[in-house]
Amino acid sequence: MTFTHVSVMPEQVLAHWVTDPSGLYLDATLGGGGHSHLLLSQFPNCRLIAIDQDPAALSQAHDRLGAWSSRVSIRRGNFRSLDEILSPNEKGTIQGILFDLGVSSPQLDQTARGFGYQNEDSPLDMRMDPDNPVTAFRLVNMKPKEDITRALKEWGEERWASRIADFIVSAREEEPIRTTGQLVDLIKAAIPASARRTGGHPARRTFQALRIWVNDELEALKQGLAVAIDVAAPEGHIVAISFQSLEDRIVKHTFREWQTNQRGIVVTRRPLIPSPAEIDSNPRSHSAKMRVFAKS
């Protein structure tokens, strides 16, 4: 698996992530390593800790960042466990922490990962961490209708959640739903034709909900942010890039709560977004929103 990934808003990220050219930085979502590569190449005196839960990403990152091996420490883990991943002497000394949230382009494009709804033969997987025992197949085929409906409503903001859940439960009584193509067909059948004509691909919201459910993404984000504010150095920046409203809402409310509790200030009163030129060259960046918090 090759992690070819175009980093979102690279110039804006570096402008807010880096507060000290000689500081210690944390990339909490290494992925394709694009932002880390820029950091290490442009700031020759900085040091970096980079983590990811996907071993394929880590393998590629070791190659991509190998030229700076003396300044970077690459570690496997979920950012919800920052307190365990970081050593005691690293906590409180990190000048900038970056969260680039959501699924990466390589994960979307690899059919075996089951994240996308374009390939009919992909297995229903959706795990960012292959050691995670929970898969989309397990949730779709084993969870009760009420749980599926709630997940699609809460994490997919899907108007037709109950109807889609009905179709899923009815279909799996005949045979297991094994592929993304089977699931897409069920979703299309469940959503009335008139509703399918607007709002993008009809499976988008359901797939988002399942991915969040499989990877427990929103709870992980809450936990990761809670630790980040503690391990950041005074005057350090926490940068978060989100790609859907649920993530952005958590980041926005968390940053506001920190400011209310006098833990620092929200740097970005409104989220930063990609330029039209960036969206043209990298369409997947169109929904990105970046927020920045400066710890006091």
Q: Do strands 232-242 and 289-295 pair parallel, antiparallel, or not at all (unpaired)? A: antiparallel
Is residue 108 predicted with pLDDT exceeding 90?
Answer: no
Fold entry, domain 120-215: DNA polymerase; domain 1 (1.10.150)
Question: Which residue spans of the chain are classified as CATH 3.40.50.150?
Answer: 10-106+217-295
Q: Which two structure tokens, joined as six digits, stand for 176?
A: 């297991």
Contacts of 153 (CB under 8 A, 6+ apart): 161
Question: Which residue spans of the chain are classified as CATH 1.10.150.170?
Answer: 120-215
Residue-wise pLDDT for 221-248, tens only, equals 999 999 999 999 999 999 999 999 999 9
Is residue 62 predicted with pLDDT exceeding 70?
Answer: yes
Residue-wise pLDDT for 117-150, tens only, equals 877 789 999 999 999 999 999 999 999 999 999 9
Instruction: Report the C-alpha gap between 223 and 227 in whole angstroms.
Output: 6
Instruction: Report the C-alpha gap between 288 and 101 in whole angstroms.
Output: 9
- CATH number attached to the domain at 10-106+217-295: 3.40.50.150
